Amino acid sequence: MSLRSLLFAPGDSDKKMAKASDSGADCVILDLEDSVAASRKPIAREMVREFLKAGTNPNVEFWVRCNPLDGPYVLHDIAAVAAAAPKGIILPKTNGAEDIVTVARFLDVLEAEHGLAAGSIGILPVATETAAAPFGLGSYNKHTPRLRGLTWGAEDLGAAVGASSNLEANGQWTSPFVLVRALCLFAAHAAGVQAVDTVMADFRDLAGLERVCNEARRDGFTGKIAIHPAQVPVINQAFSPSDAEVAHARAVLDLFAANPDAGTLQLDGKMIDKPHEVQAQRIIAMAERLKAR
């Protein structure tokens, strides 16, 4: 499963849900949370369920973002959409693994009720949106088999702590957000799941998007969330290994295979050892995941 590009579409817009399905995104996130007004939540739940049932594009994984656990909507959201078998639930404003366990219990019941395979609906938390959330990031490596990835959010966290901005004048994240971005990255890898970078709100700045995608990929994120279809091709390109990267990774693995007793070797005049082999395996795994789509 590849969480490379994930495009949000408001759950009360049939037009955007349909357009998102044809955008080239690996995953479409049908949103019931912040992009849907309170008065529209009930209709949005029905629209998302019907949209999922229609199964518009078999090449796309459809996820649903429900409302947070501390509000009045979440049970209705999950109960409404589970029967239509979404790929997973994006759970906002989580504080740690306990929140995953709670939603997993709801899903256990609903999967049984609707005759779905046990454990088939995944969970991807937005794991940095409350002031307490950064302290729970280390807990996701506990036994939470539905966990598919971790992502982080800057807008709600900024509001939670009264930050007047989350960006420096040059467009870089301010230091509190640099910190949680890195913690999310490490927490995801500690839990053995994919790290997914947060949205870039300025959806017209595609050159800036390419830069932040390249930085995220360099740092170990495997994908990024989009809010506008124009962002999808940029994200797909940045998070796909290039032919040159795949060729280099194969050369590294071939060299280690040919020298099974060597701990360290040289390739094109550069020292390579265990971390390079691990990274090469990662690149090949990523390329194969994308090819399997």
For binding to Mg ion (CB under 5 A), which residues are involved?
34, 156
Q: At what angle do helices 274-291 and 243-258 cross, to 10 degrees?
A: 130
Is the Cβ of residue 8 or residue 256 nearer to Mg ion in the bound state? 8
Binding residues for ligand COA restricted to 9-28, rule: CB under 6 A: 9-10, 15-16, 19-20
Residues in Cβ contact with 149 at an 8 Å cutoff, skipping those fewer than 6 apart? 3, 124, 188, 193, 194, 195, 196, 222
CB of 211 to ligand COA, least distance (A): 20
Is the Cβ of residue 11 or residue 134 nearer to ligand COA in the bound state? 11
CB of 36 to Mg ion, least distance (A): 11
CB of 70 to ligand COA, least distance (A): 18
Indicate the DSSP class of residue 126. Answer: B
Describe the strand order of the beta sheet including 149-151 as a list of residue ranges: 122-125, 88-91, 61-65, 27-31, 5-10, 223-226, 194-197, 149-151
Q: Which residue has the tokens 């020298």?
A: 259
Is the Cβ of residue 34 or residue 108 nearer to ligand COA in the bound state? 34
Contact of 89 with 120, CB cutoff 8 Å: no
Write each residue from 184 to 213 as x if it is in contact with ligand COA (CB under 6 A), else as -, in one continuous string. Answer: ---------------x--------------
Contact of 135 with 177, CB cutoff 8 Å: no
205 by DSSP, 3-state: which? coil
Is the Cβ of residue 5 or residue 139 nearer to ligand COA in the bound state? 5
31 touching ligand COA, by CB under 6 A: yes
Is the Cβ of residue 14 or residue 34 nearer to Mg ion in the bound state? 34
Residues in Cβ contact with 244 at an 8 Å cutoff, skipping those fewer than 6 apart? none
Backbone angles phi and psi of 242, in degrees to 5: -75, 165
96 touching ligand COA, by CB under 6 A: no
Question: Which range binds ligand COA by CB under 6 A, 3-11, 175-183, 256-264, 280-288?
Answer: 3-11
Residue 156 partner contact from ligand COA, Mg ion, none using kind-dependent CB cut-offs of 5 to 8 Å: Mg ion
CB of 65 to Mg ion, least distance (A): 9
163 by DSSP, 3-state: which? coil
Residue 20 partner contact from Mg ion, ligand COA, none using kind-dependent CB cut-offs of 5 to 8 Å: ligand COA
229 touching ligand COA, by CB under 6 A: yes
What percentage of the chain's residues is helix, strand, coil (to nearest 5)? 50, 15, 35
Task: Provide the binding-site residues for ligand COA, judged by CB under 6 A.
Answer: 7-10, 15-16, 19-20, 31, 34-35, 199, 227-229
